[in-house]
Amino acid sequence: MTAPKKLYIKTYGCQMNVYDSERMAEALGASGYVETGSPDDADMILLNTCHIREKAAEKVYSELGRFRDLKDAKPDLKIGVAGCVAQAEGEEILRRQPMVDLVVGPQSYHRLPEMEAKAGKGVKALDTDFPEEDKFERLKSRPKAKRGPTAFLTVQEGCDKFCAFCVVPYTRGSEVSRPASRVLAEAQDLVERGVRELTLLGQNVNAYHGASDTGEMTLARLIRELAKIDGLERIRFTTSHPNDMDDDLIAAHGEVEKLMPYLHLPVQSGSDRVLKAMNRKHTAESYLRLIERIRAARPDILISGDFIVGFPDETEEDFSQTMALVEAVEYGQCYSFKYSTRPGTPAAERAQVDEAAKDDRLQRLQALLRDQQVAVQDRMVGKEVGVLFEKPGREAGQMVGKSDHLHSVFVEGEGLSPGDLRKVRITRSASNSLAGTLL
C-alpha cells in the first residue's frame, strides 16, 4: 500500500483562516495527504496567509526563505501560499520566490487538488480568481472523524464596507452569505461528531443574509435555527460591524439561551472625525447607544473591540476621544494596533502620523484596556459560570476550558474530560485567565 503524503499547514491571522486551513486539509485529503505537525516531514508545505497585520507580505517571504534549504534537500517537496497575501500578490510571490509551486486565493482553495496535480508535473499553479462556483459546495463532505468540543463554521465571507484602512474587500471580495440549509447541515454534522460549541465566522458576520426555503435568513434567524439542534450547547459569532447590529440580533442575545454573553464589536476610534476618514459610517455616539441597547438585552454580556491608533491625520484630541469612549464602554477584552499602510487602500496615500506618537498612544491605550480587563476579571470572582472543558491544564489533574464569557478557566477535578460542560465557581483571577472549583 502506498504511504500517505504528508501536509504541513501554517496558519496566520483570524479564525476564518483556521477554518479555511481545515477545509484545505480536507480538500487535499482527496489527493492522499494527511497532516503532519512538522515541515521537515512534509511532502507539501502550505502557508495560509493574512494581509491584515503590518508587513504581512514581507513576513511571508521571510518564512518562505526558511524553507529554502529544505526544498534543496527535498526537490519533490511542494510549497504553496494561500490566503489573502496570495490573493494580493500572487504573481509577485512566484517571481520573488521561484521555489513556490502554487499560489491560491481564499476563494479558490477548493481547486487545490487540481493545482497540486499540476504542480506535481512541474508546472507552476496560480489561481487568484473570484470563481462563480460556490467553493463550499465543491468541497468534499467533511470526514466523519471525531472532533473536539469547539469548532469554527464560516457562514459569510467578504465585505462591502470599504473601510479606508482595510484590504479585505480586495482580497476576499464582496459580501457573500452561504445558504442557510448548508450551514445548518454542516452544523448538524459537526455536532454529531462531538462539537458542542460553534463560532459562526464572517468578515462581517452580522451582515449574513443567507437564502432559505422561507426567504432570506438573517444572522439572528440563523442563530435561532441553530439553537434547535440537540447537542449544540453554545453559539458565538465574530466579527461584527456596528451598522449591521439589527434589532432582532440584539434581542437574540437576551432570548436565545445558547447564544453566549460575549460580543466582539470593533469601533476602531472614538473620534467622529477619524471615523469619517476611515469610512466607518457610524459615530462614537451611535456606537455607545448601541452598546447600551445590547447591555439592556443582556446585562452580563462581555464586550470586546478593536482599535487603530495613529490613523492618518489623527490628532492628540482625536486620541483623547478614543480614550473617553474606552472609559465609557469598559471592555472585557480588546485588540489594539498601530495604523500601518496597506497598498491600494485610500488611507495609504494620506499623511502619516509620526511613529513615536503612534507608539506613545498605543502604550497609553493598552494600559487602559489592561486595567479594564483586570477589573472585569476580578468581578468574576465568586460568580458561577458555565465552562466547556477543552484540554488538560499545565498541572496534573487540571483541566482548562472557556467560560460563557470566553475567559480561559483552570479547574482541578477528577473525572473531567474534553467536552464536559460544567458549572464552576470562580475563585481567583490571574493574568488573562481565571481559576475555579466545580459545583
Among residues 77, 111, 127, the one where a domain terminates is: 127
Claim to verify: residue 371 and residue 395 sit in the same structural domain = no
Among residues 60, 94, 127, the one where a domain terminates is: 127
Q: What is the count of structural domains for the chain?
A: 3
Among 55-64, 142-151, 301-310, 354-363, the least confident range: 142-151
242-261: pLDDT as tens digits: 999 999 999 999 999 999 99
Claim to verify: residue 250 and residue 305 sit in the same structural domain = yes
Claim to verify: residue 107 and residue 228 sit in the same structural domain = no
Claim to verify: residue 75 and residue 149 sit in the same structural domain = no
Q: Tell me the whole-structure pTM to 2 decimals.
A: 0.83
Among 51-55, 65-69, 292-296, 403-407, the least confident range: 51-55
Q: What proportion of the chain, given as a percentage, has pLDDT over 70?
A: 95
Claim to verify: residue 66 and residue 141 sit in the same structural domain = no
Claim to verify: residue 172 and residue 293 sit in the same structural domain = yes
Q: The domain spanning residue 325 has which CATH number?
A: 3.80.30.20
Q: The domain spanning residue 11 has which CATH number?
A: 3.40.50.12160
Claim to verify: residue 150 and residue 274 sit in the same structural domain = yes
Binding site as annotated, residues for [4Fe-4S] cluster: 14, 50, 84, 159, 163, 166
Claim to verify: residue 260 and residue 325 sit in the same structural domain = yes
Claim to verify: residue 109 and residue 198 sit in the same structural domain = no
Binding site as annotated, residues: 14, 50, 84, 159, 163, 166
Q: The domain spanning residue 433 has which CATH number?
A: 2.40.50.140
Claim to verify: residue 144 and residue 238 sit in the same structural domain = yes
Claim to verify: residue 217 and residue 309 sit in the same structural domain = yes
318 vs 2, which has greater pLDDT? 318
Among 13-17, 112-116, 291-295, the least confident range: 13-17
Calculate mean pLDDT across residues 154-165.
92
The answer, yes or no, to whether residue 27 has pLDDT greater than 90, is: no
Least Cα distance to 240 among 257, 226, 252 occurs for 252
Claim to verify: residue 275 and residue 174 sit in the same structural domain = yes
Among residues 102, 127, 152, the one where a domain terminates is: 127
- Whole domain around residue 231: which residue ranges? 135-380
